[in-house]
Each structure stands twice: as C-alpha cells, then as structure tokens.
Structure 1
C-alpha cells in the first residue's frame, strides 16, 4: 500500500498489516487490504486505528493459545464505522452480538467525547487497549468540533481529511508498543457487560 492521497483507502505502510484468528477450528489470516475492500465508507483513520488496536489485543490474547472468534467479547469507546468494520471483519463480534459501545447511544458520529480505547475479552481475561493520549492532536478535535457547525471554515474539511491521512500514516509506521497502552485485566466480560468501574449513563 503506497498511495498517499488523503481520499484514498491505501496508505504507505512499514509495520505488519496482517492478523491471525481462529474461526470454526481453522486459523485464518486477515490482511488490512481486506478491510479496505470491506469498508464501504471513507473512515480510513478509523479503519487503521481499529485494525491496529485489534493487533495489539491479539498479541496478548495469543500468548497462551490462538484467540478465537467463538469466545470474544468487545467493548469499544470509539463509535465510528471504520473502527466497527475493523472489529467485525476480524472478530465477527458485531454480527454475533458480542460487541457494545462504551457509550451505547445509537450513533456512529465521531465527537470530542469519543475514546480511543477498547476492551477485548476472550472468556479468561480482558485486554484493555488504549491509544496514547498524545497521539491525536488537539487540532484534530478542534476541526471535528467545527465541522457541520455554524463555525465551519471553507478549509476545515480538507484540513480534517489531511489530519486523518497523517494519523493513519503514523499508525502504520510505528510499532504497536509506541502507539498503545495495553493492560491485562483478570476479569472476563460477558456480552453486553461494561468493564468494572464503568457504568451505563
């Protein structure tokens, strides 16, 4: 993937773009290019961050044995369609109803209040994956606040697209441990359950 156009699905990459998972007693490998074909929108930053977050979770879940679609439950702090498609393509948790949002408001709109963090449970443990706080700059959120508001400027849409393209580039040019904080929690999650200490609004 070597296209740098801000409106393109493809970005240049340095890091591994594949992930393996057990599906119906068979280990399958999924490449990010499959997500590019699967996702029907233009949320490529969301696709990238969702895919990379699942790679970070997989690194922990597969330390003892390969993780399996059969027993995964996921809570996402990010409501965007790109993130959701990445999670579904890899884990099938969305279609199997073992996925929920941290804020379960029925919307895919991104906002300043969204969280770049995920809880992935394999029935034994829960892996908490959180994008480093300083990865997404304040200018990204400022642009997001202005878009589709009375304060939107003519250049905001292009600037926002460029930010997303730049962030996607960084996601594929830094190792996972430089992108995410990963914490292992001893308590597994059941479908629909929130992590301990977090409650429904």
Structure 2
C-alpha cells in the first residue's frame, strides 16, 4: 500500500485559481523555517478538507488564530492566504487549550482556522511537538555548537517534516469551534 502524495493547495481568487506546492512555502520562508513550512502546508490541507470539502476555497476568506508565535508559521499563512497583511491573522500566546504543547517560539502549538462562517480547532500532538522538539529547537535553531551537531539537527528537522506531512494524524484535538473564538479582538503580532 502506498501513501498518496498530494503536494499542492488550490485557492480561488476573483480572476482564477492559484496553486501552491509545499516547496513554495519552503522557498518563501527559507530553510530555517522548514518545520513551520511543512506544518502550515499540512494544517491548510486539513482545514480545506474540513471547511471547504467540495469547492476550491476562496484564498482571502480564511482567518487564522495561531498559538505559535514563530515567523515561519506567519510567513506560510501569509503566502497562502494573505491573512497577515489583510488583518485576518492573529497570534494568541495565552489562550491555549490545556492540551496544546508549548511552542519553542512562544505560545502553544494550536491553531484556529476560520473559513467564511465555519471554524476548526487544531491542537498538535505532543508526540511530535513535545519536549524533544522543544529542546531541539531551543538548542539548535539559533546555531549549534558544531557543524556536526547542526547536521544532526537538520536530519531531525527533515524527519519531523516527513512525519508532519505524511502521518495519518498529527493532532491531539481536531474539532469544530465557533468562528467567534477566532481572532479579530487580538492585536496583530509581527
């Protein structure tokens, strides 16, 4: 049995459909944000499946509340939805569900994604984003003590990206939530 690899996201604009491959997110955010790029790609694939299963969704109809304060996550959502530039993206570093693992970039590993009048809550599994991930990012994201240590960190990051993209689930919680829980009262965080 083979895993089906679906590596493009299609979004509708007023004048046509645009597509983004996962490599587009990686190129936009850069190699430092490879985990964030994989994560945003996967979350958006899941959100599209959950919130607009039978139609190509409108690119600019998404609202995002990110519990993760990292710039790579923000960049990925910006590329796909233009939500940051247009004020539909917010970071909530304090309102996390208790199950959400803490983020090495500040906040916690959860996302509320809204589309039109629907919304979903995604809390990432601490099996992927638990203490090991937290320690690895804390120790190596800003530079490792040696080239060998950094090479091992890159191996870890690539392995984690594969899991993020291809495991059947990466969430401890995946459920509908109220669109009112989303974002517009929180200030924009850059």
**What's the counterpart of residue 24 of structure 1?**
14
Q: Does 1:179 align with 2:163?
A: no
Could you tell me whether the CA contact under 8 Å between 2:51 and 2:115 is conserved in 1? yes
Q: Does 1:121 align with 2:121?
A: no
Q: 1:65 to 1:186 in 2, by over 3 A?
A: farther
1:189: how far off? Answer: 5.4
Q: 1:111 to 1:143 in 2, by over 3 A?
A: same
Larger helix proportion of the pair: 2
Q: Does 1:72 align with 2:36?
A: no
Distance in 2, Cα, partners of 1:129 & 1:190: 12
1:101: how far off? Answer: 0.7
Unmatched segments (≥5 aa) in structure 2: 95-102
TM-score norm. by structure 2 comes to 0.75
Partner residue of 1:51 out of 41, 47, 69: 41
Distance in 2, Cα, partners of 1:145 & 1:186: 34
If asked which structure has higher relative contact order (CA below 8 Å, sep 6+), I would say: 1
Unmatched segments (≥5 aa) in structure 1: 1-12, 105-109, 195-201
Partner residue of 1:167 out of 160, 164, 170: 160
Map residues 55-134 of structure 1 onto 2, 5 A cutoff: 55-63=45-53, 65-103=55-93, 111=104, 113-134=106-127
SS of corresponding position for 1:43:
helix
Map residues 2-17 of structure 1 onto 2, 5 A cutoff: 15-17=5-7
RMSD: 2.9
1:55: how far off? Answer: 0.8
Distance in 2, Cα, partners of 1:121 & 1:17: 22
Could you tell me whether the CA contact under 8 Å between 2:112 and 2:121 is conserved in 1? yes
Q: 1:22-47 CA deviation, whole Å, 9 max, x = no partner?
A: 22252322211222332245210111
Could you tell me whether the CA contact under 8 Å between 1:143 and 1:156 is conserved in 2? no
Count of residue correspondences = 173
Larger strand proportion of the pair: 2
Map residues 185-196 of structure 1 onto 2, 5 A cutoff: 185-188=177-180, 191-193=183-185
